[in-house]
Every structure is written in structure tokens, then in C-alpha cells.
Structure 1
Amino acid sequence: MSDQADRAATELVEGVVKQLSALSRQLCPAQRDLEHLAKIIAKREADASRVSKEDFDELTSEHDKLKHQIVELKEVHKSKQEKIEELSAQN
């Protein structure tokens, strides 16, 4: 009886080992595929985050124009503020 139980246990273990081996063979290509897809996604994210030199130059130029407009508006505001103070002092 113990011989029969040993054989059954051995067959069961061998069956499990075969199933695990088959699963391992299936998982290895799937893991490689996932790693490959992860690399593709990382590359696409890096490409998407890059700004072309032309776009960067255009944005820099626009930024400089806006800074210049801010300076001009501050000067106009200061001038008007002085005018208001002058008129207030006269009244």
C-alpha cells in the first residue's frame, strides 16, 4: 500500500512539475514581451516630453515679449499713479 501511495505521490509531483515547467515556458516570452512594451512606452514618453528647438525658441521669444509688455504696463501704471497723486494733492 505504501508503495502504491509513494507512486501516486511521485506521479502527482511529476505532474505538478510538468505543469509548472509549461507555465514557466509560457511566462518567459510573456515577460520578454512586457519588458519590450515597457521600453517602447518609456521611449514614447521621452519623445513626447521633448520640445523641438523651433518651439522652444518661439516660446522663449513670446516670453521675452510678455516680460517687455509687463515692464511697459508697470511704467504706465506708475505714471498714472503719480498723476493721481498729483491731482489729489491739488484738491
Structure 2
Amino acid sequence: MKRLTPMEIFNKDFKQSIRGYDIDEVNEFLDLVIKSYEDVLQENEYLKEQLRQLKKSGTGRQAAVADRTGQYDEIIHDILARLDRLEQMMRR
């Protein structure tokens, strides 16, 4: 299905009938639809740009997780070394 543009929504004409909808009410609603649609399109572009920047920065979150994992490995190694020293002291 083809995506509508805000201008296509704005330019849409509806047939009038004797018992039709209130034209002003329909136009007010379509104005709200257009504004909401423009907001969604802008947010979509913003999010796409953020995604492009994250991909450029070395897979973003994966790099941060790998960095934290390296920090945890150092901490665990330090704790194990301390436990080893404590065990040796207790054996004496």
C-alpha cells in the first residue's frame, strides 16, 4: 500500500451529499491527522538518524556491553586473586 503524504491528505476532496458530514468538522479532523502524521514522519527520520549514528559508532550498545564485560572480568579476577591470598593465609 502506498504511503500518503501530508499534502495528499490536505488536498483530498470528499463528495458532498444531502445528509453528508459537516465539512468544517471533517476539515478540522483532517488538520489534526495531517499534524500527527507530520510529527510521526519527523520522529521516524530522527530515529533513523540515531540508528545510523549508532551503527557508525562501532555497533553502539554492543561496544558498551563489551566494555562493561571487560570491567567485570577485571573485578572477578581481582576477587579471585584476593580469595586465593586469603586461602593461603588461612593454611599457614
Provide TM-score, normalisation by structure 1: 0.46
Higher relative contact order (CA 8 A, sep 6+): 2
Larger radius of gyration: 1
Q: Which has the higher helix share?
A: 1
Provide TM-score, normalisation by structure 2: 0.46
